[in-house]
Chains A and B, each alone.
Chain A
Amino acid sequence: MFSRRAFAPAFRAATRATRLPSATAPRFLTPMQMRMLSDDMRQAIDKAVASAPVVLFMKGTPETPQCGFSRASIQILGMQGVDPEKFTAFNVLEDNELRSGIKEYSEWPTIPQLYVDKEFVGGCDILMTMHQDGSLAKMLEEKGVLVPPENDAETPK
């Protein structure tokens, strides 16, 4: 259903390249330090958010989500018919800096988080509400991120 492009290596490359020398960073940070989002991280997340029209920050990968809320979000995007070509998922479990960084960046304390056209949409509950009331379908349609309808499909009866 939503199989390809499990994890864009672009982000990992981007974050690795711009990452501060973490070897010198203290292993344990105070809450205050943890809350500071470095410029490098912010830039890396800017890039990640812009890497596709639809971007999901999640736990695990679309094939093997590691959290029920991430799984539900992927399922909703799949049901909506989001074009895999226009979708990228980032696994926050692979990068602790990203995991805390994205929370700060979005001012949103939980994962998953959905971005469409670089705009924060919400987490799993908001996705679910929008899925149910039709506003998600409307938005995705307007943004042109759905799989194009097949011309050779059966003619409606």
Chain B
Amino acid sequence: MAQSTTPMEDAMRAKLTEALKPTTLEIYNDSHLHSHHKAMQGVTSKETHFRVVITSDKFKEARMQPARHRMVYALLKDELAQEGGIHALQLKTRTLDEEERQKQKEQAE
């Protein structure tokens, strides 16, 4: 059986896609930037540090950022809890409207 070289990323993508139906889902693996970091000693996984950009109207259910982040944390609970799993997770959680507005703002600048 062929094994994915990015099992963690695959699992994240599958879970986030299914639950949030995102219009944008970008997953960046920044683990190589942190492999020297002391907490990573003895960790062989190449998938420990992620940066994820999610745009989903599911976030309309939760206006405040901490609530949105918690939605994502809950979805990735197992991946965060497991030994050698996700160590750091940077999140950008926006609704479609918010993403549009920010893009317009950036273009105006």
Instruction: Using CB atoms and an 8 Å cutoff, list the residues of chain A in contact with chain B.
Output: 31, 59, 66-69, 107-110, 120-126, 129-130
Complex Cα gap A126–B88 (Å): 14
A125 touches B38 (CB 8 A): no
- A110 touching B89 in the complex, CB below 8 Å, given contacts A67-B37, A122-B65: yes
Q: Is the CB of B69 within 8 A of A123?
A: yes
Contact A31 B81, beta carbon cutoff 8 Å: yes
Q: Is B45 in the interface zone, CB < 8 Å from A?
A: no
Contact of A108 among B37, B73, B92 (CB under 8 A): B73
Question: Could you list which residues of chain B lie within 8 angstroms of chain A, going by C-beta atoms?
Answer: 34, 37-39, 65-66, 69-70, 73, 77, 80-81, 88-92
Q: Looking at the assembled complex, report how far the CB atom of B59 sits from the nearest CB atom of chain A, in whole angstroms.
A: 13
Contact B66 A109 (CB under 8 A): no
Out of A59, A121, A125, name the residue touching B91 (CB < 8 Å): A125
Residues on A with beta carbons closer than 8 Å to the beta carbon of B70 = 107-108
Report the tally of A-B residue pairs with Cβ distances under 8 A: 40
Contacts A69-B90, A121-B66, A130-B65 supplied; 12 other A-B pairs, CB < 8 Å: A69-B88, A107-B70, A109-B73, A109-B80, A110-B88, A110-B89, A125-B69, A125-B90, A126-B66, A126-B69, A129-B65, A129-B92
What's the Cα separation between A129 and B64 when bound, in Å? 12
Complex Cα distance A64/B43, Å?
A: 23
Q: Could you say which residues of chain B place their CB within 8 Å of the CB of A124?
A: 90
Q: Which residues of A contact B80 (CB under 8 A)?
A: 109-110
Flag if A125 contacts B92 (CB, 8 Å).
yes
B91 proximity list for chain A (CB < 8 A): 125
Closest B residue to A59 by CB, please name it. B39
Please give, as numbers and ranges, the residues of chain B lying within 8 Å of A129 by CB-CB distance: 65, 92
Neighbouring B residues of A123 by C-beta, 8 Å: 69
Q: Which of B38, B69, B88, B92 contacts A66 (CB 8 A)?
A: B38
Complex contacts, B92 vs chain A, CB 8 Å: 125, 129
